Structure 1
Amino acid sequence: MGQLVSTQRIDELRAASREIVRQLGFMQKGLAGTSLSPSAVHTIIELGYGTVKNAGDLGEMLHLEKSSVSRLVQKLAEDGLIEARSNPSDRRSRQIGLTKEGKALLKSLEDFGRKQMKSAFVHLAKDDLAKVESGLTLFAKALRGEKSRHINTNAVELRQGYCPGMIASVVGLHASYYATNYGFGAVFERKVATEMSEFMGRIANPTNTTFSAFLGETLLGSVSLDGEDLEESVSHLRWFIVSPESQGMGIGNLLLEAATSFVDSAGFEKTRLWTFKGLDAARHLYEKHGFELVHENRGSQWGTEVVEQEFERKRT
């Protein structure tokens, strides 16, 4: 059940929201350094990110009536920024996408927006920046209500290999999630940090890799494949994690699809992972991708006694 919020607090939040709108330029005639309306700028961005594919999706996302969307799409098409394309899965419908000029405009919008954010964030301490990121994300999800649990995976970027800051980010996700939900402490965090740091020193080996899912520059989840620390022809699936805010959105499935495709292509005969009893959502994903429980016993390698489990997947 949600908490009751005082009128004074609500009005303070509304005032902050209005200030954000003003400072980002939504009250100006041209948004983001262009002559376009806010709805047109959002259309270019969402089409470029693959969040929407047609006019119907666009209208739902921008909360616009069908007639308004039609005029918007027509105007952008006349300006040479978007174009209609046939839908290979349904010939009765038409998809819309960016033209070459539209993609160039998208880059300009991204550069403008990033510069604008950077100029603001230089005034914040690192901890304050994390609070802003978390707060705005939660606020946006609260405004969307139930829709906050869904995301178009076309908007998610899957990056392979090392990314700057990923060790701290992945360790942080593990430490926070398992401390909150299972009481794991410093032993677990130190173990993940130490072993992942050592692994990243070997990431250049073609038998090793990491897949990380990002929405913009926000890490949604990650998984690693270590082809060196077990016996020959056996890969070790390690540090699979999805942020609490992203769970239920299909991110875990996306990561495990990439992981299993990698080990099969690399010629590993088996892939193993170690986890513990009670992580039912993760177990469902493991079994969906061909892993089977082969062993379990009580243990405390992560600093807290649990029923440790070993899963194994054979090459398909």
Structure 2
Amino acid sequence: MNTTIKEFRSFNRFYTQFVGLLNKRLLESPLSLAEGRVLYEIGATPTSSAADLSQLLGMDKGQLSRILAGLRKRELIERQTGPGGRTPLPLALTPDGEKLLHDLNQMADAQAHHLLRHLDHPDLQRLQEAIQTMRSVLGAREEHTSPQKSPRLRTAQAGELGWIITQHGEIYAQEYGFSDKFEEYVVAGVAAYLNKKDAGSNVWIAEYENKPVGSIAIVKDSSQESQLRWFLVQPHARRLGIGKALMEQAITFSRQAGYAKTFLWTIAHLHSARKLYSAFGFHCVEEKEGTMGDQTVREEKWILEL
């Protein structure tokens, strides 16, 4: 045990210096590391409250309160309410906050590329396996001590594409008043996916307490592009970091599959989803007016360069 502790502490010292965490500011931004992490989590989980963030990050409430006050003073975050006042969204990014987070994500990707550029494919594989091992081993401790089970992701099983269709129909009807025409639209997309079943495509289910609570898919569009589809998290599971985990899974899969970019279509009034897309580096490249679920909507195409 003593040897492991020494190696663990030695690795922490090496890694914090290697990625520049000892610098006063994060990636030459105006934020500290702690401020940048809080900004990231608000962007990745737009429905988070201060209490949610404190629990998620294991951060002292007093320290977190000071960080949030500083971010509000800089007009990077705000408190607001959801569409129609039905769902409270205690913390959200402002347009300036979204831009800064987008810039930070771009700089972080560039830094990682610079640090790893000398590694060949076998070494990159070894590094990825080592990272996954560390997360699995250290995460097992959290599962044993947490009063709740941790959400887990897995590839969709037989019959679960039907669950995805049903959930889209129910949730979009309840939250946005869409008619069953929207469910028909989802059915058509799922049917097309099943007819092709390309190797560069996959669908994942997020599971919590042994029940499916969310989904996401990557569908091959061409040899260079993939499309992110059927991203959904049930309302009661939206403060567990599931949306963020699903997005990370989809983007990682797209990169490993060799795509140059991935894109998605969304609608303008899905505010929480749009903030999450922005937090992961997507940006809107096209807008058009359309009809969905018997409603007139503003459709948006968002792209992420991989």
Q: With the length of structure 2 as denominator, give the TM-score of the two structures.
A: 0.50
Residue 199 (structure 1) aligned with residue 190 (structure 2): no
CA distance in structure 2 between the aligned counterparts of 1:172 and 1:264, rounded to whole angstroms:
29
Counterparts in 2 of 1:96 and 1:247: CA distance versus 1, 3 Å: closer
How far the C-alpha of 1:293 sits from its partner, in A, is 0.9
CA distance in structure 1 between the aligned counterparts of 2:258 and 2:204, rounded to whole angstroms:
18
Counterparts in 2 of 1:189 and 1:97: CA distance versus 1, 3 Å: closer
Contact 2:180 2:293 in 1 (8 A): no
- Paired residues in the alignment total 167
Paired-residue identity, %: 29
Residue 190 (structure 1) aligned with residue 184 (structure 2): yes
Residue 212 (structure 1) aligned with residue 187 (structure 2): no
Residue 170 (structure 1) aligned with residue 164 (structure 2): yes
Q: With the length of structure 1 as denominator, give the TM-score of the two structures.
A: 0.49
Residue 157 (structure 1) aligned with residue 148 (structure 2): no
CA distance in structure 2 between the aligned counterparts of 1:97 and 1:280, rounded to whole angstroms:
32
Q: Which runs of 5+ in 1 are unaligned?
A: 1-87, 90-94, 99-149
Contact 2:217 2:228 in 1 (8 A): yes
CA shift digits 1:96-122 (9 cap, x unpaired): 998xxxxxxxxxxxxxxxxxxxxxxxx
How far the C-alpha of 1:219 sits from its partner, in A, is 0.7
Residue 234 (structure 1) aligned with residue 225 (structure 2): yes
How far the C-alpha of 1:159 sits from its partner, in A, is 0.5
How far the C-alpha of 1:255 sits from its partner, in A, is 0.2
How far the C-alpha of 1:164 sits from its partner, in A, is 2.5
The structure number with the bigger radius of gyration is 1
Counterparts in 2 of 1:306 and 1:261: CA distance versus 1, 3 Å: same
CA shift digits 1:24-46 (9 cap, x unpaired): xxxxxxxxxxxxxxxxxxxxxxx
Counterparts in 2 of 1:314 and 1:243: CA distance versus 1, 3 Å: same
CA shift digits 1:141-163 (9 cap, x unpaired): xxxxxxxxx986x6222102x31
CA shift digits 1:42-96 (9 cap, x unpaired): xxxxxxxxxxxxxxxxxxxxxxxxxxxxxxxxxxxxxxxxxxxxxx99xxxxx69
Q: Using CA pairs below 8 Å that are at least 6 residues apart, which structure has the higher relative contact order?
A: 2
CA distance in structure 1 between the aligned counterparts of 2:175 and 2:283, rounded to whole angstroms:
25
Q: Aligned-residue CA RMSD in angstroms?
A: 2.5
Contact 1:151 1:249 in 2 (8 A): no
How far the C-alpha of 1:235 sits from its partner, in A, is 0.3
State the SS of the aligned residue for 1:245: helix
In structure 2, the residue matched to 1:102 is none
CA distance in structure 1 between the aligned counterparts of 2:299 and 2:258, rounded to whole angstroms:
28
CA distance in structure 2 between the aligned counterparts of 1:275 and 1:294, rounded to whole angstroms:
12
State the SS of the aligned residue for 1:241: strand
In structure 2, the residue matched to 1:180 is 174
Contact 1:213 1:222 in 2 (8 A): yes
In structure 2, the residue matched to 1:78 is none
| Deviates further, 247-256 or 230-239 | 230-239
CA shift digits 1:201-243 (9 cap, x unpaired): 433x32010111112431110001101xx34301011110001
Aligned AA (1:213): A
Aligned AA (1:165): G
CA distance in structure 2 between the aligned counterparts of 1:275 and 1:164, rounded to whole angstroms:
27
State the SS of the aligned residue for 1:300: strand
2:287 to 284, 296, 301: 296
In structure 1, the residue matched to 2:111 is none
In structure 1, the residue matched to 2:18 is none
In structure 2, the residue matched to 1:9 is none
In structure 2, the residue matched to 1:224 is 217
CA distance in structure 2 between the aligned counterparts of 1:244 and 1:259, rounded to whole angstroms:
21
Runs of 4+ in 1 over 6 A off after TM superposition: none
Contact 1:214 1:221 in 2 (8 A): yes
Aligned AA (1:277): A
Q: Which runs of 5+ in 2 are unaligned?
A: 1-133, 136-140
CA distance in structure 2 between the aligned counterparts of 1:277 and 1:236, rounded to whole angstroms:
18
